[in-house]
Amino acid sequence: MHPFHTHCEAALAAIEAQGRYRRFTALRKQAERFPLYRRADGSEVLVWSSNDYLGMGGHEVVIEAACEAARSMGAGAGGTRNISGTSPWHDALEAELADLHAKPAALLFTSGFVSNQAALSTILNSLPDWHVFSDARNHASMIAGIKGAKATCHIFRHNDLRHLEELLRSAPPAAPKLIAFESVYSMDADISPIGAICDLAGRYGAMTYLDEVHAVGMYGPSGAGVAERDGVAARVDVIEGTLAKAFGCHGGYIAGEATVIDYIRSCAPGFIFTTSLPPMIAAAAVASVRHVRSDAARRATLFERAETLKRRLTAAGLPALPSASHIVPLHIGDAALCSAVSRRLLDEFAMYATPINYPTVPRGEERLRLTPTPLHTDAMMDRLVAALNTILVPERRAAA
């Protein structure tokens, strides 16, 4: 046997033994019945872990836009943006996103992951002596971009301004600097102090790169993100977002100053050498972004639903973790137990919530990550609380 094959077997066995082997759960989304999905046997499952945060993936204006574009332009783009892969929908979407963030320009990528990886590595490979300051809880896609560059990397403790300043102060004053961070951290459900980080950036001459993936569509008066909500978007150099979460479609993007965006467009292999988004997806995303920008009621309902779920879990004595966002984490604290609770929710109660285990969160912080949407009703919450009480209360009594 090849040594690599032996390695794979051993590594997989170790992952399984640690209770963190990942198995897909085959669930079929139902556009018209979201958040109710269907299993292979036809039975329905109530899903609590979709990143289609606003339920826009099943919205009729989005589906119609996708169908119409597919009928007129076909399924795939047929090329990169430079090789016959630009449609009127790509241009319209970039214009819409630039306008959303009040930035001069925006650039699409095939996913949020690719946008972070490509943009960060391209920025950090541009000059010889970049210093990058990265929040300790940054998403894997940002880490991939940073690791793919020759820059000196400083990791600051999560949302810790004092530590960030210490590191900024210790770097060579003349070196180009970039602070890379997120607004809403999806696993911790907390929010970064964007304005204060921009203050530090100003003081130390650093650029700012902000991942608003878990905020676009939801935060701020027009859904442009936490930077808009806090009135600091103009101070952020590059805002990165996704079309795959609250906008319910697919694709990623960056928005910022025209020369910076044009430079990344011209130099990033992750932009140049891959087929562009299907026009039908770009058309669906334009429809979604336009709709969401003006649908403040949907945003208000999202936050009302999240607050209601937090309150109900806490009232039932269930260990909802503190959350400053629309995400509701429920503490479990053990990988095997976390997977078991998720499995029992599905098998016995026809509900699905993703178990979040190491390495996504540190060991001991295993959790269920609940994302109620505007379409989750009070009756659905009653079902969830009752099921969690049945599953978790005996577990905790046994542990005590």
Ligand X SMILES: *Cc1c(COP(=O)(O)O)cnc(C)c1O
CA distance 5 to 92: 47
Q: Which of 141, 301, 339, 373 binds ligand X (CB under 6 A)?
A: 141
Identify residues 349-378 at the interface with ligand X (CB under 6 A). none
Closer to ligand X by Cβ: residue 110 or 318: 110
Q: Which of 244, 332, 361, 370 binds ligand X (CB under 6 A)?
A: 244
CB of 89 to ligand X, least distance (A): 18
CA-nearest of 83, 175, 76 to 132 is: 175
Is residue 110 within 8 A of residue 273, CB to CB? The reply is no
CB of 139 to ligand X, least distance (A): 3
Q: Which residues contact 323 (CB under 8 A, 6 or more apart)?
A: 189, 190, 306, 310, 329
Q: Which of 35, 57, 225, 252 binds ligand X (CB under 6 A)?
A: 252
Binding residues for ligand X, total number by CB under 6 A: 14
CB of 185 to ligand X, least distance (A): 8
Q: Per-residue x/- mask for ligand X, residues 197 to 236, rule CB under 6 A?
A: --------------x-xx----------------------
What is the chain's percent helix, strand, coil content, to nearest 5? 45, 15, 40
Residue of 29, 103, 177, 245 marked catalytic: 245
What DSSP line would sit under 132-177, residue for residue? Answer: EEEETT--HHHHHHHHTS-SEEEEEPTT-HHHHHHHHHHS-TTS-E
C-alpha separations of 92 from 45, 75, 102, 105, 172 in Å: 37, 18, 15, 12, 42
Q: Which of 242, 276, 323, 357 binds ligand X (CB under 6 A)?
A: 242
Closer to ligand X by Cβ: residue 103 or 137: 137
CB of 115 to ligand X, least distance (A): 8
Closer to ligand X by Cβ: residue 180 or 392: 180
Which pairs count as long-range contacts for 219-226, CB under 8 Å and 24+ apart, including other chains?
Answer: 219/183, 219/184, 219/299, 221/296, 222/100, 222/293, 222/294, 223/100, 223/292, 223/293, 223/295, 223/299, 224/100, 224/101, 224/102, 225/101, 225/183, 226/183, 226/184, 226/191, 226/192, 226/194
CB of 254 to ligand X, least distance (A): 12
Identify residues 153-192 at the interface with ligand X (CB under 6 A). 182, 186
CB of 280 to ligand X, least distance (A): 17
Q: Per-residue x/- mask for ligand X, residues 60 to 99, rule CB under 6 A?
A: ----------------------------------------
C-alpha separations of 400 from 102, 294, 397 in Å: 53, 50, 5
- Torsion sign (Cα): 369, 373, 378, 380: negative
| Cross-strand bridge partners of residue 211 | 182, 240
Closer to ligand X by Cβ: residue 176 or 225: 225
Regarding beta strands 367-370 and 355-356, do their DSSP bridges make them parallel or antiparallel, or are they unpaired?
antiparallel
150 classed as catalytic? no
**Nearest residue (beta carbon) to ligand X:** 112
Q: Per-residue x/- mask for ligand X, residues 107 to 136, rule CB under 6 A?
A: ----xxx--x--------------------
CB of 213 to ligand X, least distance (A): 4
Which residues are the active-site residues? 245
Footprint of ligand X on this chain (CB under 6 A)? Answer: 111-113, 116, 139, 141, 182, 186, 211, 213-214, 242, 244, 252
